[in-house]
Copies of this chain bind each other. A is one copy, B any other.
């Protein structure tokens, strides 16, 4: 298993179906059935994926009558965004800024 203590959002976005769900939710908030209609998987499969995305803090849900509307969570996405931005910035300047000093975050 070996969790490495990484943000669960990366594993959540690693699945193609979940990334597709996130892409749909980036366009508009959706109920479970709507997502299942647009995707080549069953509705329970979508439900399970949403559970993972919710556990990773990437989506939030809201009960509307008998339906549950899901939408993206800005706070959850910002964590991944910042980390990926760090990777990109480090790679961009050719590791120039590493020479001086190191500050760590576990």
Contacts and interface: CB of A to CB of B under 8 A. Distances in A.
Given A72-B87, A72-B91, A95-B71, A4 B19 contact: yes
Contacts of A73: 91
Number of this chain's copies in the complex? 2
A20 B40 contact: no
B11 A14 contact: yes
A70 to B, nearest CB: 11
A10 B11 contact: no
A27 B77 CA distance: 23
Interface of A: 1-4, 6, 10-11, 13-17, 19-20, 22-23, 26-29, 40-41, 71-74, 77-78, 80-81, 84-88, 90-92, 95, 98, 102
